[in-house]
């Protein structure tokens, strides 16, 4: 079942599905609450898999080979290269 605007999904759990839902049900939770937690867990797992793939892809990257996007000027302020942006040095950094 799917309705426009507000989504309603019909789900007929098998006996095995029902056992799994019951085993993960916390006090005061409905089956829908358990399924929502399961969906959030799937979402988190997918995010972690993407993050791990990014980490593996970037593992050999050496940012020291890249030019800096900023520099210190003569007064110790930070100047963003290629932009008209300067960030004043903090007093505690200029002692």
Nearest to 69 by CA among 83, 61, 84, 80: 80
Measure CA 90 to chain center. 31
The model's pLDDT over 9-63, given as tens digits with 9 standing for 90+, comes to 888 999 999 999 999 999 999 999 999 999 999 999 999 999 999 999 999 888 8
69 DSSP assignment = S
| Domain parsing of the chain, residue ranges | 15-61, 64-93
pLDDT above 60 for 86: yes
pLDDT score of 1 more than 60: no
pTM of the model: 0.57
Nearest 5°: the CA angle 53, 55, 57 is: 70
pLDDT value of residue 27: 96
């Amino acid at each position: 079942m799917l309705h426009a605007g507000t989504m309603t999904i019909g789900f007929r759990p098998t006996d095995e599905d029902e056992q799994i839902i019951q085993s993960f049900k916390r006090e005061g939770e409905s089956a829908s609450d358990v399924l929502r937690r399961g969906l959030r867990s799937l979402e988190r797992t997918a995010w972690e898999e993407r993050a791990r793939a990014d980490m593996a892809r970037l593992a050999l990257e050496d940012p020291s080979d890249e030019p800096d996007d900023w520099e210190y000027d003569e007064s110790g302020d930070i100047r963003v290269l290629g932009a008209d942006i300067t960030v004043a040095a903090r007093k505690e950094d200029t002692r």
